[in-house]
Amino acid sequence: MNNHAFVISKLCSEFGIRHAVICPGSRSAPLVFAFSRNKKIKTCVIVDERSAAYLALGMAQQLQKPVVLICTSGTAALNFYPAIAEAYYQKIPLVVLTADRPEEYLNQQDGQMINQANVYDKHVRANINCTESTHQNKIQDVLSKSMFPVFGPVHINVPLKEPLYILPESKIKIQKIKWNESKTKSTNSYDKIIEPTKFYNKKIVVVGQLLPNKKLTQQIKNLQKQGFVIFADVVSNQQESSFIKHFDFIISNANSSVLKQLEPEFIISFGGPLVSKSLKTWLKNCSPKTHIRIQEDKNCKVNTYGNVTDFILGNPTNVLFEIAKQKQSNKQNSNLYLTSWQLLEKKAINTLEHFMNSKNESELKSVNLILKTLPQNSQLQISNSSSIRYVSYAGLSQNKISVFANRGVSGIDGCSSTALGSAMITDQIVTLITGDLAFFYDRNAFWNEHNKSNLRVIIVNNNGGGIFNLIDGPQSQPELEEFFLTKHKLTAKNLCKEFGLEYYFCRSNNQLKKTLHSFFNKSKTAKILELKFDMDENAKEFLKFKNIKIQ
């Protein structure tokens, strides 16, 4: 009885899965036995399902291989959903196993039971209701779709009958496995699309969220040599391939007439979402003659800026290689276009340095200092809301920092858990820059035995949702104080004491400069650094920043 739990476990390990995150529960007992006794799979236990799912996402993000996620029946499955949606849009492989009661008990007032089959239908690559009679090939097919043709989460709902604590009498045997590893086929011929690139002078490449990829970096650099201007978003992991690292600040603060003159004739875009709202808005107002969108997912054509003229189905590295082979007929004019942007970049750096060195304290200035102090060959995780906007404005000048953020659906709810999951996989220092609401929302990230010593968390604490004091709209409404700012008096000090973490506290940039060196030193546990700011004073300083003009 319940042999299918062991079949799933065996198939997962044969597929190459080596990690499983398990949430405690009774109905899931057969799945727990099947995975905890599988010597090829390393398991960890996390109580909070929402936190567990984000932690598994962080692990899979680093491994670039699926991680199994297991919970009991009922609402436990619903607590996985935010992270599953994030994994779906960020294209991160997860194998979600939800224990369930037998179908005949559904809607019969049996305990801890909801409609679980296909519950994530709109946000998974594949799903199946797996009973003891389900053929092995169907399970294999679902597992394969977590990686092929593109990465993403899959869901296996597993109805389990009582008794739950009796193991199968005989060893589970599975058929010889032949995995379906079909990848997205590239468009056979796109010469007619890419051939005109050599005739354009004003050419840009827009790179959205991506995992680190050295081969892609080289191809982008090749395009830059041909006069292409590279806009590599802060979470693209392609900052190294671009001369223009402060485009968010430039487009936000440069003269509109200058930006009008720099509107591109030709755009290549690929990757996930952009953090920079200013870049998105500018691109939406541009009317390029050609805009090529490169993507591997054939099921969803992305046209964020409303001006795509051609879609190319394929791997960006391979497509850019073909484009870079095109001989440029107007290389001199293209180089003039690149030089214009480089001149703006120099002006932006000087303007930023002048602001960052000015007297008044602000969250942006502290984040800028942190970015300049990050250890080389380390990893940066950024929470959503104001934190990631600050990083985008300040720009990443270091090339040897890999950057990650939950920008699939951009929620604040699991940023700490994702960072911890990442730290469990890598030996690098993992630094999370987060706001106070995101941090306290996900405090259960630290409720486990896996608080890794390579994790560093920096909290920008203004005692509320300070971003609503910075963005247009909420700040002018009478409901701002009660319904948007959500003020509180929490600090991380007690949390650190409760979970045995090292705690640091700073009120000024001078303190921060003195603290960061020891903060990044090796330790036996994770470290948390809390930065304290006055919300209103920070808003005034940020308004000054927004009003700066690049001359």
Task: Give pLDDT tens digits for 475-502.
Answer: 666 655 555 657 778 899 999 999 999 9
| Domain residue spans of the chain | 3-159, 191-348, 358-546
Cβ neighbours of residue 437 under 8 Å, at least 6 residues apart? Answer: 385, 412, 464, 465, 486
What pLDDT score does 178 carry?
Answer: 78
Nearest 10 degrees: Cα torsion 420, 424, 426, 429: 50
76, 49 contact by CB (below 8 A): yes
Quote the pTM value.
0.93
206, 268 contact by CB (below 8 A): yes
- First vs last C-alpha separation in the chain: 74
Backbone angles phi, psi at 176, to 5 degrees: -60, 130
Residue-wise pLDDT tens digits, 65-91: 999 999 999 999 999 999 999 999 999
**Within this chain, domains 3-159 and 191-348 share the same CATH topology:** yes
Among 202-206, 380-384, 417-421, 546-550, which is the least confidently predicted range? 546-550
Q: Residue 209 and residue 194: Cα distance in Å, rounded? A: 23
CA–centroid distance for 366 within its chain = 23
Strand partners, 96: 69, 155
Annotation: CATH topology of 3-159:
Rossmann fold (3.40.50)
Annotation: CATH topology of 358-546:
Rossmann fold (3.40.50)
Strand partners, 292: 268, 310
Task: Give the class (CATH, top level) of 191-348.
Answer: alpha beta
Cβ neighbours of residue 268 under 8 Å, at least 6 residues apart? Answer: 203, 204, 205, 206, 223, 228, 291, 292, 294, 320, 323
Residue-wise pLDDT tens digits, 387-440: 999 999 999 877 789 999 999 999 999 999 999 999 999 999 999 999 999 999
Backbone angles phi, psi at 27, to 5 degrees: -60, -25
Is the per-residue pLDDT at 465 higher than 80?
no
DSSP 151: -
C-alpha distances (whole Å) from 385 to each of 214, 292, 391, 415, 465 are 29, 30, 11, 11, 9
Is the per-residue pLDDT at 542 higher than 60?
yes
The percent of residues above 90 in pLDDT, for the chain, comes to: 74
For residue 48, name the pLDDT band (cuts at 50, 70, 90). very high
Which residue type, as a one-letter code, is found at position 167? L
The percent of residues above 70 in pLDDT, for the chain, comes to: 92
pLDDT, averaged across the chain? 90
